[in-house]
Structure formats: C-alpha cells, structure tokens
A = this chain, B = another copy of it.
Amino acid sequence: MAAKRIAAFGEVMMRLQTPGYELLAQAGSLAYSFSGTGVNVMSALSRFGHPASLVTRLPDNPLGDAAMANLRKLGVATDLLQRGGRYIGMYFLENGFGSRASRVTYTNRQESSFNTAPAEAYNYEELAKAIDVLHLCGIALAMNDGVRLHMRKLAEAVKQHGGLIVFDCNYRPALWGEGGYSAAKPHYERMLQLADTVMMNERDAVHILGMSTSAAVRGEQLKELIPAVASQYGITVIAGTHRTVNADHTHSLRGFLYKEQKFSFSPERTFRVYDRIGAGDAYTSGIIHGELQGFAPEQTVGFAAAAAVLAHTTAGDTPMSSERDISRAMEDDAADIER
C-alpha cells in the first residue's frame, strides 16, 4: 500500500528571536526561522517517513524565497504551495527566564500573502486529489472569512475524495479578542463536523463549545466532556494534553487519546523546558503518526507525549526528533552522552 500523502493548510510565520535572554530593547541581532502549526506538524511527519506537504501562499520576493528554502530544509514539500501577495507574517520572540515570561510580538499578519489569498488562489479539486490526510488548525480559523472559506472548501473537497481531516482546536484568545468564544463557536463547529481526528481538551469543550460539566477536577471533566464532543460531532479520535507549570519552572505533561469509547493516557512526564513554542505540534504529529501506522492507542499516546517532551528540549518551533529518538526517550528519561 502506498504511503499516505499528508498536507497541512496553514500560514508560514517568520520567527525572529533575540539572542539568549535579551530583550528587543537590549539586543542588536535576531535569529530567524520559519514555522507555523502546519509547518511544524508536516516537518515532524516528514521526519517519520511520510510525504508531507504544505498548502499555503508565500510572496514572490526574497523573504518568500527564504521561507521556501527553509520549508524544504525542514522536509516539507512545497509542490502544493502558491506564490503571490506581498508579505509574510512575522513574530518576534524574547525568551523569558524563570519567573520572567517569554514575550511574543506580532507584525500585521492580516496583510500576509496567506491571509489575503483571493478566492481563486487554490484549486481545491486538484489539491484534494493529491492529499490523503489534511491538517487544519484553529489559528488559521481565527484569521478572516477568506481564510475560513478556503479551509472549509478544501476540507470538503478532501473529504469528498475519501481523505481524512485532522483539526487542531488551538484557540488563541489574542486572535479572537473580546467576546471571542461566541464569535468562534460556529466556525469551530463547522470544522468539528468535518473532522475525523481532533486535537482538543475539556477546556475547549467548555469555552469554545459552551458545554458545561458538574465535575470539579480536570480529569473528571475530561472524561465527561470529550465523549460528548466525539458523539455530538461524529469524531473518530480526540486527543490532547494536560499541562502543569510547576513552581520550579519545570513542566509536567500527560497525553490522552479517546477512540472507540475508550481513553488511553500516557504517563505524566516532568521535564525542563528549553523552547516551549510548537511543542503541541509535536504531540499532534505523534498522534497522526501512531494512527497512520496502526499503533495501539497506548503506544500512540505515549509516543506523542514523548515527542512533545523532546520538542520542549529542542531549539525552534519545529520538532526535530526522529522516530528512533522518540522511542529511546519513551524508555529512558535521564540520559548521559550518546557516543
């Protein structure tokens, strides 16, 4: 059987980061890279051996060329990608330390090539023929009506051609603004109806979907709400994580996977964090990989959680671990040098 062709629809962001722990008002240089939820998930899946492509739109200028080169470097195929428009979305990152939080400052991404793609920018039919699994996420959903229409049309086309839809809820309060939850709800519901696999947890059910629960503890809420979501929207797999930020600035993470009326959980892992951004995308990539490879649910959720832990220890937004790295991390937590 041929390898499943995976694609993500999403924006490429240029990340510009000050050195070490300097602020923008102190530093004089920035390291740059290109990422985005779709980029991160596709790069990870490519590293696991899947053909992984990005459906997006980039300007035809030196910044677009740099983005193209770096997507390819990350293993993301660019054959489904459009060039056009004039700008690329950017964000500036100032690394926090201990009790000082990291700080992210965005440029105007509404003007980006992706967010201004005209109605005819993507050929949904042709794309659908080239895609077996399509990944979409809540960040793109927050952009504007044009992007939302592209998302819906593309998802419908892929579904019609027998493809699978993965949707990551990924709700960002700053993007939706005041009163965002109710504005977001109808758009989210449309996506959930199309999706086969969904990344979310009980908080999304409460806040976005407006569901309520009498349970007081997170774990109980999860077990009450997730099955309800799955049944209401006809979703095959729902997966997500519970994260705790500990007093000593370590994080703890536990993954869950709900499928065929059953929850599976990864062990809770506690770890030091080097680069937090994009770690959730590593988790998603682990879930998709496990599902495509036919792993048992416990193996999938354990693999995804280990992938997420490693992504916290790696520079940049994009996960860099191979399947072998992740398997080793599932076994052993405190390794000495590998020679």
Contact = CB atoms under 8 A, between A and B. Distances in A.
Contacts of A313: 21, 96-100
Given A309-B99, A334-B99, A338-B102, A316 B26 contact: yes
Interface in A86-106: 86-87, 90, 92, 94, 96-106
A62 B96 contact: no
Contacts of A27: 32
The A contact surface, by secondary structure, is loop
Interface stretch (A150-158, A180-188, A268-276): A268-276
A204 interface: no
Interface string A23-46: 111111111110000000000000
A24 to B, nearest CB: 4
A237 B72 CA distance: 34
A328 B248 CA distance: 18
Interface string A132-151: 00000000000000000000
Interface string A306-328: 00011011111000110001000
A174 interface: yes
A206 interface: no
* Total identical chains: 6
A314 B23 contact: yes
A66 interface: yes
B32 A247 contact: no
A338 B103 contact: yes
Contacts of A245: 334-336
Given A96-B313, A315-B26, A101 B338 contact: yes
Of listed A21, A65, A105, A174, residue having the most chain B CB within 10 A: A105
A73 B269 CA distance: 35
Nearest to A310: B100
A247 B315 contact: no
A276 to B, nearest CB: 6
A62 B322 CA distance: 11
A246 interface: yes
Contacts of A333: 99, 247
A108 B87 contact: yes
A215 interface: no
A249 B98 CA distance: 13
Contact of A62 (B62, B94, B271, B310): B94
26 contacts: A21-B313, A24-B62, A24-B65, A24-B66, A28-B32, A28-B33, A29-B30, A30-B30, A62-B94, A62-B105, A73-B73, A96-B335, A97-B313, A99-B272, A99-B309, A99-B313, A99-B334, A99-B335, A100-B314, A100-B325, A101-B338, A103-B337, A107-B107, A245-B335, A247-B334, A249-B272
Given A23-B320, A72-B72, A99-B310, 5 more contacts: A25-B69, A26-B316, A27-B32, A73-B73, A98-B274
Interface of A: 16, 20-33, 61-63, 65-66, 68-70, 72-75, 86-87, 90, 92, 94, 96-108, 111, 172, 174, 245-250, 269, 271-274, 276-277, 309-310, 312-316, 320-321, 325, 329, 333-339
Which 6 A/B pairs are nearest by Cβ-Cβ distance? Answer: A101-B335, A73-B73, A98-B272, A24-B66, A100-B313, A72-B72
